[in-house]
Amino acid sequence: MKRRYKNDIERYGSDILKSEELQHAYDQTHHTWSTVGEHTLRVAAASLAICYALRKIHVSTDTSAVVKGALCHDLGILGRYEKYKSNKECSRRHPADSVEIARKLVEDLPEKSADIIGRHMWPAGHSKAPNSLECVIVSVADKYAAIKDKVHDLFREDNSSD
């Protein structure tokens, strides 16, 4: 990962990066071939890429809230098969569970980060709509990362059938 991304993720997300929750996130599969931990870092990086691009056109964003939100957005999904009865239930409930975990990991979690996490599934999962630019950024980065994982998987399947 480029140094600028790494620096911002470490500057604003050090408590989360050090947490047991994020360490466990590397043990749970996500989007078929990836893990929650890898997906989390891809979402944080994609979110920052959008922030940096917006800065170039003089649109400022709260990078700290974005990093904290992106790093915590899916932590509630950990242990999903024990916690939730179905994928549908997981999709609806994990954002609120992620907010709860984020509040434990980050002292004085900004409300903007809590909203980023709680609303990231929009328009799926009966989620409330984003209420800030930062919310939109992480929600879009999450979809981008998920689609990229699916496309990667498609190519893996293609390769395996040769």
- Please report, as ranges, the residues that interact with Fe ion according to CB under 5 A: 74, 142
Toward Fe ion, which CB reaches closer, 55 or 88? 88
Nearest approach, Cβ of residue 160 and Fe ion (Å): 25
Residue 130 near residue 119 (C-beta atoms within 8 A)? yes
Toward Fe ion, which CB reaches closer, 74 or 134? 74
State the virtual CA torsion across 30, 34, 38, 44 in degrees, nearest 10: -70
Nearest approach, Cβ of residue 138 and Fe ion (Å): 9
Nearest approach, Cβ of residue 47 and Fe ion (Å): 11
Toward Fe ion, which CB reaches closer, 82 or 162? 82
- SS3 letters across 78-105: CCHHHHCCCHHHHHHHHHHHHHHHHHHH
SS3 151: helix
Nearest approach, Cβ of residue 39 and Fe ion (Å): 6
Toward Fe ion, which CB reaches closer, 37 or 60? 37
Nearest approach, Cβ of residue 161 and Fe ion (Å): 28
Specify which residues 45 forms β-bridges with: none
Q: Is 152 left (phi over 0), alpha (psi -120 to 50) or beta?
A: alpha
Toward Fe ion, which CB reaches closer, 8 or 74? 74
Distance CA 97, CA 120 (A): 12
